[in-house]
Structure 1
Amino acid sequence: MIRLYHFALSPFCRKVRLVLAEKKIDVELVDEKYWEPSTEFLRRNPAGKVPILKIDGLTLSDSNAICEYIEETRPEPPLMPADPKARAEVRRLVAWFDDKFHQEVTRNLVYERVNKKVMRAGYPDGKAVKTGATAIKFHLRYMEWLLDHRRWLAGDRMTMADFAAAAHISCLDYISDVDWTSSAAVKDWYATMKSRPAFRSVLSDHIPGFAQPPHYANLDF
């Protein structure tokens, strides 16, 4: 059995879950309190982070390394283009969301509003939340610009970039931090993403102490 050690509201874990599901790979999900690392957990990943995937006799960590391994060993359906230039653009956008978007938006909103409570790490930092609420407007405009020029975020077909973005957006949507009135293009893109069978598991997530908003699992918002 393929096993994924994860935290439900981690965008990096969600990205891996979405990629596995899109490729129709069955996986056992194991909730991991990575902020309370056990000796066994640190043996799996000394960095003390999730996701961790046990597959093919390997123990893999880092969401990008995991996703690239899955893509290379389970190439259907392909989530990376064949053209090197197109692959570079996909990797650029995956890095954009996992680095810039995460630092400016996800960390300031999801981590402050949810993770701190779950981890019993104090109260949200109001300044950080305000920073995240301002930054997401810029990122939604950038996504809108991409979708105005392309069918999908990285080009004319759905790729790993769309799953990386959707992983972050889905975490923010769980806490109602996405203004869906700000961009029809981004809303339509996300509606298409969350309508895919791969999203079913993510849309059924329930974080203790944080109820899903009414629209979260609604495919038509």
Structure 2
Amino acid sequence: MNKIYGVPLSPYVRKVLFTLEHKNIDYTLQPVLPFRCNEDYSRLHPLKKVPCFEDEYITLPDSSIICGYLDHKYPQSSVYPSDFREAAKARWLEEYADTAVAEVMLAYQFERIVKPTLRKAADEDKVTHAGVHQAPAVCRYLEDQLRASGYLFADGLLLCDIAVAGMFLTGRYGGFVVCGHTYPKLEAYLDRVWRSEAMQLRIVQEKPILENIYKHFSTTREWACDMTT
């Protein structure tokens, strides 16, 4: 059985769950909070991050490594473009989402969603810095990469789309909103991905977790949003 360790709200766990669901592969999700795990988990993932993957053959950390492994093991319905040049570009965009986009969006998530659950006050200066000084460069770059319609590549909804739009979804949960006037292609693209069947499945499963956070931690309520369609 394929085991995924992590929590659904993690944008990195979301990538792995999409890959498994895209390929119709059975799995079980073992709840693990990053950096707050026991010694048993630290033996699986020495960095104590999520996700981690385990099957009958191998134990792997890191979402990109896991998804690459799954795509080789189960080649049906690849999560990468069919053209090798576009596949390389897709992996770069996935990496860009996991690093540059993450630096912005995880600031919103950590300060406004995670910190309240730890009984800590959000540092709005960090949120402002991410939104004002870092987000514009990220949005401009992605605006230049996008087609007028559809997804990042002609092959349809792929892992790179989930990586990019999923990271923006994480920021949206913490109140980040793309300016459609300045970045019209990016705004339209995110809306398309978020409304896709694959992403709606993820959003529906994440919704009860968010609602519980919004309910019990008053400072998070102003960021509450319903992304289901």
Q: Alpha-carbon deviation of 1:150?
A: 7.5
Equivalent positions of 1:29-48 (< 5 A) are: 29-48=29-48
**1:95-128 residue CA offsets vs partner (Å, 9 max, x unmatched):** 111111112x1232112212222344x3222221
In structure 1, what is the equivalent of residue 227 of structure 2?
A: 216
Cα pair 1:144 1:185 within 8 Å, conserved: yes
Is the aligned partner of 1:132 residue 2:130?
yes
Q: How many corresponding residue pairs? A: 215
Distance 1:168-1:187 versus aligned 2 partners, 3 A rule: same
**1:10-69 residue CA offsets vs partner (Å, 9 max, x unmatched):** 211111112222222232222212332201111221211110122244222111100101
Matched residues in 1 for 2:81 and 2:17: separation?
Answer: 20
Cα pair 1:2 1:26 within 8 Å, conserved: yes
Matched residues in 1 for 2:73 and 2:112: separation?
Answer: 37
Q: Alpha-carbon deviation of 1:214?
A: 4.4
Q: For residue 209 of structure 1, give the secondary structure of its aligned residue in structure 2.
A: helix
The percent identity for this pair of structures is 23
Equivalent positions of 1:1-221 (< 5 A) are: 1-103=1-103, 105-120=104-119, 122-134=120-132, 135-148=134-147, 151-153=150-152, 155-158=153-156, 159-179=158-178, 181-182=180-181, 183-204=183-204, 205=206, 206-207=209-210, 208-210=212-214, 213-218=224-229
Cα pair 2:162 2:199 within 8 Å, conserved: no
Matched residues in 2 for 1:214 and 1:115: separation?
Answer: 16
Matched residues in 2 for 1:142 and 1:150: separation?
Answer: 17
Cα pair 1:53 1:61 within 8 Å, conserved: yes
Amino acid at match of 2:20: L
Cα pair 1:35 1:119 within 8 Å, conserved: no
Matched residues in 2 for 1:89 and 1:198: separation?
Answer: 22
Q: For residue 60 of structure 1, give the secondary structure of its aligned residue in structure 2.
A: strand
Matched residues in 2 for 1:119 and 1:202: separation?
Answer: 24
Bigger Cα displacement from structure 2, 190-199 vs 57-66? 190-199
Cα pair 1:22 1:197 within 8 Å, conserved: no
Distance 1:179-1:86 versus aligned 2 partners, 3 A rule: closer
Larger relative helix fraction: 2
Cα pair 1:173 1:216 within 8 Å, conserved: no
Amino acid at match of 1:209: I
TM-score scaled to structure 2, two decimals? Answer: 0.82
Cα pair 1:4 1:53 within 8 Å, conserved: yes
TM-score scaled to structure 1, two decimals? Answer: 0.85
Would you identify which runs of 4 or more consecutive aligned residues in structure 1 move more than 4 Å? none
